[in-house]
Amino acid sequence: MLISAAGSSFTQTSGGDVQIKDLQWETSQGGSMSGLLFVPEGVSAEEPAPGIVVSHGMFNNREMQEANYVELSRRGYVVLSMDMYSHGWSEPVSDIQTLTTGMYQAVTELSGIDYVDSERIGITGHSLGGMSSNVAVMIDNQMETDLISAVLINSTDAEYIDPETQEFANVYGSRDVGVIAPQYDEFFFGDVDAEGNPTPARDYIEHGNAQSFLHFGEEPGDGLRNPGEFYAEEVDGEEALRIIHNPAITHPWAHFSHQATDSTIKFFEEALGAPNPIPSEQQTWQWKAAFNALGLIGFGIFVVSLTLVLLRSSFFSSLRVAEPVRIRQTDRTGKIWLWGTLSAAAIFASVSYIPILTSVDSFTMGSGGWAQSSPYGIGMWAAANGLFTLLLLSLFYVFYMRRRGTSLAERGLTLSLGNAGKSVLLTVAVVASSFATVFLADYFFKTDFRLWTLAVKAFPSDIVWTALFPTLPLLLIFFVAASIATNAINFVWIGASEKHREWVNTTVLALFSVLPVVAVLLVQYIGFFSTGFLPFPDANMPTVWLFTFLVILPVSTVISRKIYRETNNPYLPGLINGLLVTLIASSNTLTWA
């Protein structure tokens, strides 16, 4: 983790040539916003540099813009990577309308810095950040003096229509504007053809919205303009640029993509000029991502290692067994039960995900119900699967294990009151200490541990209280049930040689834990890539949330097994995994006031 933090810091500061400042400021609306400010060496009031605000999308945070702030700051731009309202360290608000005004608040903050050239300010945002960029332009249009010179909208539709006339219009004026339109965007860039039929995002460039944008708000006619080319026209006495980049990537991939980053660099170099020109294909942010991923691996190792160390302390020693629990043999009937329950649980999890996530308030546009809708939705699915798993395990025990003389105590399913209390205390100690390393990395290096959409990061204290209910109880149901299944019931010899039987068992269980996630993703994306339309369009956001669980579920299975072998206590790893995932989920989402 130390190597991760140091390496990540070295990369994002361009070897020390960029200073990072952690900002917290009061907006004109009376709210508090946060952001990371990247200040290249040599900028000053006498030699101001262009400034760029970069924004993450919905359910993310400022660190998700690492590719942009690393590459833009090393090219000499002053970059402010903002936390939108209701995200990260910024103050929660109660509705989407207020939330999207945060981009303009960041622009005004950046424009007031004396080493920023206020006549060369650009903005770019991914997804909801792109929507916020459109809102910022609308606000800027109402001001006496425009602050925004260049706009790059990533994975969000531009504004094509005048709201009053309902006809194509150039709402961006003389600003330079670009769009990054992924061909496989799950949310945006649908249009209609000449017959009024819906068209997929991959055909976006061929139809009216894209072409009107490239024609500066005019009816496109027959002269189609191409993606990847800058088009210039004089608007209000100034030359303005338009461009659409159309990479063959998905919506969430657009903030973790060499192609999208290349497009971002080229756009701002053309629109604002680059104080320190570097070819756009020469990118170093991938090193930061690699160091971050190394820290994520270290974090998982630390959780297990710290647990095992604390189990050797005098206070927690009663939770530890004298010899590691060994895999058990089972007969043919037992193997049938094993494979049957694993298959039934995987099928239930696969078929229940979309119905549950689309029937509960897991994707809300304002406060009401729970402060964090996405962890609540995932938690409801997790709890349903946890309860179904407990039902299967009960049948397994009653109709197979108990008849063969297996007791609950033998499998670690009975705990004394004292050991139950110590399990809770050890859980809190391990999770708090593990996250302390994250806060140290944030304090000393301004880094965290992450890979694409999965992040273990520092967070404000309010998140702890928000996470306690309902997310924590819902996730605990699942992770405790999963630990009981993995360890107390399914820790059996399944046919490998005695030398390898345990790791084979662990591998099989880890694969079955993630199989439902893989199944849902395959159903959605095979259909999407082949037809251009999602088979379940109402589940576009819940589908994107599943990518983090490709890592979380198998890793939590391995963590669970490592701890159980030393304790014969399936509840302890279930509690640890449940609390860890709750804090990870609750610190990487949107929180309504």
Cis before residue 470, ω within 30 degrees of 0? yes
The answer to whether residues 116 and 9 belong to one domain is yes
Identify whether 452 is part of a domain. Answer: no
Same domain, 350 and 482: yes
Three-state secondary-structure class, residue 330: coil
Give the per-residue pLDDT at 495: 64
The average confidence (pLDDT) of the chain is 96
CB within 8 A of 477, min separation 6: which ones?
Answer: 382, 383, 386, 387
Q: One-letter amino acid identity for 257?
A: S
Residue with tokens 């709750």: 582
| Assigned domain for 450 exists | no
Question: Which CATH number fits the domain that encloses residue 7?
Answer: 3.40.50.1820
Q: Which single residue is written with the structure tokens 């910022």? A: 136
Name residues of the chain where pLDDT drops below 50: none
Q: How many angstroms separate the CA atoms of 184 and 204, rounded?
A: 10
Residue 388: strand, helix, or coil: helix
225 and 151 in a single domain? The answer is: yes
CA 498/CA 411 separation, integer angstroms: 21
531-534 contacts at long range (C-beta below 8 A, 24 or more positions apart): 531/200, 532/199, 532/200, 532/201, 532/202, 532/203, 533/198, 533/200, 534/186
3-class secondary structure per residue, 430-455? HHHHHHHHHHHHHHHHCCCEEECCEE
Whether the Cβ atoms of residue 458 and residue 61 lie closer than 8 Å to each other? no
| DSSP H or E stretch at residue 232 | strand 231-235
End-of-domain residue from the set 229, 253, 283? 283
How many structural domains comprise the chain?
A: 2
CA-nearest of 486, 482, 447 to 578 is 482
Same domain, 259 and 364: no
Same domain, 19 and 167: yes
Distance of CA 538 to the CA centre of its chain: 19
Share in percent of the chain as helix, strand, coil (round to 5): 50, 15, 35
Q: Are 570 and 487 in contact (CB under 8 A)?
A: yes
Cα(135)–Cα(129) distance, integer angstroms: 10
Residue 259 burial (10 A CB sphere; 0-12, 13-18, 19+)? middle
Which of 290, 204, 198 lies closest to 247 in space, CA to CA? 204
- Give the per-residue pLDDT at 41: 97
**pLDDT number for residue 499:** 59
Q: Which two tokens stand for residue 552?
A: 């979380």
**Tokens at 114, concatenated:** 């004396």
If asked whether residues 266 and 370 sit together in one domain, one would say: no
The answer to whether 21 and 37 are in contact (CB under 8 A) is yes
Separation of alpha carbons 532 and 542, rounded Å:
18
For residues 277 and 347, membership in a common domain is answered with no
In this structure, is residue 159 part of a structural domain? yes
526-543 b/e with 16+ CB inside 10 Å = b? eebeeebebebeebbbbb
In a domain, 77, yes or no: yes
- For residue 297, being part of any structural domain is answered with no
Tokens 């919905």 sit at which residue? Answer: 58
Mark 463-477 as b/e (b = at least 16 C-beta within 10 Å). Answer: beebbeebbbebbbb
pLDDT at residue number 489: 94
Question: Do 270 and 396 fall within a single domain?
Answer: no
Indicate whether 163 and 254 sit together in one domain.
yes
Instruction: Give the domain-ending residue among 250, 283, 316.
Output: 283
Domain check: are 266 and 400 in the same one? no
Report the SS3 class of residue 336: helix
Considering 224, 249, 283, which residue would you say is the last residue of a domain? 283
Is 485 inside any structural domain?
Answer: yes
In a domain, 439, yes or no: no
- Which long-range contacts does 182-185 make (Cβ < 8 Å, 24+ apart)? 182/155, 182/246, 182/247, 182/248, 182/249, 182/250, 182/251, 182/253, 182/254, 182/260, 183/246, 183/247, 183/248, 183/249, 184/248, 184/249, 184/250, 184/251, 184/528, 184/529, 185/155, 185/250, 185/251, 185/254
Instruction: With beta carbons less than 8 A apart as the criterion, state whether 76 and 39 touch.
Output: no
Q: Write out pLDDT tens, residues 489-514.
A: 999 887 656 556 889 999 999 999 99
What is the rounded radius of gyration, in angstroms, for the C-alpha atoms of the chain? 26
Q: Is the distance from CB of 205 to CB of 285 less than 8 angstroms?
A: no
Pair (265, 372) in one structural domain: no
The structure's pTM equals 0.96
Tokens linked to 539: 């589940």
Residue 257 covered by a domain: yes
Give pLDDT, residue 556. Answer: 98
| pLDDT per residue as tens digits for the range 146-158 | 999 999 999 999 9
Strand partners, 52: 79, 122
Domain with 78 in it: 2-283
Same-domain check for residues 222 and 338: no
Predicted pLDDT at 543: 97
